[in-house]
Amino acid sequence: MLPVLETRLLNFGLSDTGFALLVLGAGMIAGAGNLINDYFDQLSDRINLKQRQVPSEKVFWSVYTTLNLLGLSLCGWAAWEAGLLNLTLIPLAAVMLLFRYSEHFKGRSWSGPLVIVLLCLLWVALPWLYEFKAMGILYRYYPTDAQFLNQTWLVYLGLVALVTLSRELIKACQDRAGDLAAGLQTIAVVMGLKGCRNMAFGAWLPVPVLNLFVVRHQVLTGAIAESLYSSIALVLALVITFRLYRVQSSDEAARVSLLLKAYLALGIGSLWVYYMLFLYMAP
């Protein structure tokens, strides 16, 4: 949203510094979430990730607490700058939900994947919420720009939900042996590897279709540079579709999981790429 506001000589919502602090803070909270997940996964990881080193209790809790406090502080600073300090409750809720996910929801069939999808959607929607005031101003004076931005966020939210759900399901296939030994009732344990793979494939199928429509729209509107980036993602999406359909073992699931990580990275990178292209290539 920042480039649109700046080109209209408006300066509301988050500054560039505030946005950077928000991203950094969210990254720290996500990192703490990965740590707490590893802490509660020690039993299953002995089978699934045999070489993983577990830090001492004192070191673990010190790092975990520090990351969360720093992350919440940065998100709070960005919220204060935007004049919406109450939004700090959202990152705080994310910290609590990540802990509860690792402790309880992960081993409860569909609860685990759905909680992660919710958290990922929350992080994608967070910049929009932090710029709520700016959206009101944009809607009032520039309704076309506001509508375009909302449509863009909805597309990103849809893609994030589908890709995250697919990866969580295929990750459950990858970790099935260890989760079964640890007594967890993950979706792959309940439905079996093939059933979970089929669910992941069904969740993934709309992604390359949406990706194709994005490329088509960019080409038709003359956004050639953006379409080249999206085409890379489309090629990867087609490779994932083929590989995902053929998953028959935990090792194959692990390889597809890495490809899905790469696709998520391209999605995150597109936010930065399109932002820079807007600033330096827009007429």
CA 276 to chain centre: 21
Answer yes or no: pTM beyond 0.85: no
pLDDT range class, residue 133, cuts 50, 70, 90: low
The domain ranges of the chain are: 2-281
Predicted pLDDT of residue 108:
81
Predicted pLDDT of residue 157:
82
Predicted pLDDT of residue 195:
94
Nearest to 67, CA basis, from 31, 101, 100: 31
Helices marked H in the chain — which ranges?
Answer: 2-7, 16-40, 42-48, 57-81, 89-103, 111-130, 132-141, 143-174, 176-181, 187-204, 206-220, 224-245, 250-281
Predicted pLDDT of residue 12:
46
Tens digits of residue pLDDT in 47-99: 766 566 666 788 888 999 999 999 999 988 888 877 778 888 888 999 999 89
Tens digits of residue pLDDT in 160-208: 899 999 999 999 998 888 888 878 888 899 999 999 999 999 999 999 9
For residue 172, give both structure tokens.
Answer: 């459950």
Asked whether residue 158 carries a pLDDT value surpassing 90, the answer given is: no
The residues facing 108 across adjacent strands are 185
φ, ψ (nearest 5 deg) of residue 12:
-125, 165
| Gap between the Cα atoms of 110 and 105, Å rounded | 9
Tens digits of residue pLDDT in 266-281: 887 877 777 666 656 6
Please provide the average confidence, as pLDDT, over all residues in the chain: 81
Asked whether residue 9 carries a pLDDT value surpassing 60, the answer given is: no
Tens digits of residue pLDDT in 201-245: 999 999 999 899 889 988 988 888 888 989 999 999 999 999 999
